[in-house]
Structure 1
Amino acid sequence: MAEEKADATTRAADRVLDLLRVVCESSDGIRLADAAKATELSASTALRLLRTLEAKGFVTRREEKGEYRPGFRMVQLGVSALSHESLVETCRPIMRDVVASTGESCYLSIRADAETGLYLAIEEGTQSVRHINWVGRRFPLAGAASGEVLRNEIPANEYAMESNFVEEDVTAIAAPVVIGGAVVASLSVVAPSYRTNKTTAKLHGEALVRAAASLNS
């Protein structure tokens, strides 16, 4: 009896891990039917397990498309595995590239918990008036450009932009850093709003997407 119980527990764990793998390997999200097919589970079993994973924060579901993507808990595990130091070290060269392209300060931020993000590192811009003081600061995910990225709302080849949210007269443009199919960080340019018009915003956004793409895997 004990052996049968152990076997059942192992099978359940295998199913959950298979689902997590499939979700994480799908960079654009995966629908229930496709996840069930890829893991050879019935749709009802896959749905039950995905709902459990969603409740625990390991996956998230985009309502408008019905797609499942890695949740913030998976991102936290990924960042912990990399360690903050190695993540910053990995991203530092591309942050310098962004500054060289834009002249503006470039930030690296991560998800701190379900509601907030954390500015982890900065590469200062070359402008005489530049942003320099957000490292170590938390920010609400809702409404922030990096928040949209860290909540898996922005595809890997796109960027988000918000003005006057975290700070008055400041515009932030952010793109996702994707590793192993999960968004592990946000790469952003932060600049005075008076210096960020439609044209410069597009150029900055494209520079961020290019830089992040060199790490995305």
Structure 2
Amino acid sequence: MVGGEASTRRKTTIRLTTPPTTADHGPEHGSDDMEDQRVSTENGRAPTRTVERALTLLVEVATNDGLGLVDLARRVNLSPATASRLLRTLEATEFVRRDGDGAYHGSSRLIQVAVTSMSSVPLYRLAEPHLAELRDEVGESSYLGVGGPQDTVLYARMAESGKSIRHSGWLGRTVPLKDTAIGTALRGRCGDLGYVSASHTLEDGVTAIAATVRWPDGSPAAALSVVGPTYRIPDEQVRAIGERVAAHAQALSRELGMPDLDADAASRPADR
């Protein structure tokens, strides 16, 4: 028996093999996967890195609809092999879909998560009646803008005008903070008028009027804006519309907990 056990032990071997290199997984193209393996062995961070990469890809698909694998991989600095693996997982979980031309798009589950998440945020929920009232009062599409990535404003909510010629299609889009009415309002720079207006900045023939919505501490939370054709918002109407936008922005700010500054001022004793 002892001899048999010794023989068995002699036949037991451990082989260390190197994974075959391919065009996608070689030292240059597959280095991010190999790094994940090393990190996983050292401190268990590979799952976190994988999640980060998958989420980065998902954001890229959502914000740049219709890109192919190579373009997506380049934009998020991953090898095509790694990007393909992550995109297959996102496809399987119905967050993205791939069309017949190989382009990727946001899918039904991504939309479901976005809508559910946004509807649970008090700011968005409280803003909706103001957007609807503002649209009805001025007859133009109204928007709620919040801070987006990389110095942008995200159009997060809208109430679309019912007119045949109207501004639409910007829900979910981002625009620069700089040199836009809604961006200026989101930075809290509306001046004494309480609103800011701009024409022909993002689109020819379009005028936007925006005002700041504030958190209880006074910092900018969002911006309300009205956007419509310039021929329907001539200079002589900007003030009247701007005052309505500012009034709704102030009312929404109070609903978020911002003190009513006018009421506070009225309640203070006059200076002697």
Into which bin does the TM-score normalised by the smaller protein fall? Answer: 0.5 to 0.7
Map of 2:177 onto structure 1: 141
TM-fit CA distance, 1:210: 1.0
Map of 1:161 onto structure 2: 197
- Distance in 2 (alpha carbons) for counterparts of 1:157 and 1:201: 11
Query: Is structure 2 residue 129 aligned with structure 1 residue 93?
Result: yes
Tell me which of 118, 137, 159 is aligned to 1:123: 159
What is the alpha-carbon root mean square deviation over aligned residues?
1.6
Tell me which of 159, 171, 176 is aligned to 2:212: 176
TM-score by length of 1: 0.59
Change (3 A) 1:212 1:157: farther
Map of 2:238 onto structure 1: 201
State the secondary structure of the residue aligned to 1:165: coil
Please list the CA deviations of residues 132-182 of structure 1 after superposition, one character each: whole Å capped at 9, or x if unmatched: 110111111111001101122125861010111111211100001112111
Unaligned runs of 5+ in 1: 1-82
Percent of aligned positions with the same letter in both sequences? 35
State the secondary structure of the residue aligned to 1:166: coil
Please list the CA deviations of residues 19-48 of structure 1 after superposition, one character each: whole Å capped at 9, or x if unmatched: xxxxxxxxxxxxxxxxxxxxxxxxxxxxxx
Structure showing greater radius of gyration is 2
Tell me which of 120, 140, 150 is aligned to 1:104: 140
- Distance in 1 (alpha carbons) for counterparts of 2:146 and 2:201: 18
Correspondences of 1:74-89 after superposition (within 5 Å): 84-85=118-119, 86=121, 87-89=123-125
TM-fit CA distance, 1:117: 0.9
Tell me which of 150, 172, 187 is aligned to 2:224: 187
State the secondary structure of the residue aligned to 1:215: helix
State the secondary structure of the residue aligned to 1:171: strand
Higher relative contact order (CA 8 A, sep 6+): 1
TM-fit CA distance, 1:112: 1.0
State the secondary structure of the residue aligned to 2:252: coil
- Distance in 1 (alpha carbons) for counterparts of 2:155 and 2:187: 15
- Does the Cα contact within 8 Å between 1:179 and 1:215 map onto a contact in 2? no
Please list the CA deviations of residues 86-130 of structure 1 after superposition, one character each: whole Å capped at 9, or x if unmatched: 222110001111011100000011111452111111101132211
- Distance in 2 (alpha carbons) for counterparts of 1:172 and 1:184: 19
Question: What amino acid maps onto 2:235 in structure 1?
Answer: K
User: After the TM superposition, which of the residue ranges 155-164 and 203-212 deviates more from structure 2?
Assistant: 155-164
TM-fit CA distance, 1:194: 1.2
- Distance in 2 (alpha carbons) for counterparts of 1:144 and 1:212: 17
Q: How many residues align?
A: 135
State the secondary structure of the residue aligned to 1:121: strand
- Does the Cα contact within 8 Å between 1:156 and 1:176 map onto a contact in 2? no
- Does the Cα contact within 8 Å between 1:156 and 1:177 map onto a contact in 2? no
State the secondary structure of the residue aligned to 1:214: helix
- Distance in 2 (alpha carbons) for counterparts of 1:111 and 1:204: 24
- Does the Cα contact within 8 Å between 1:159 and 1:205 map onto a contact in 2? yes
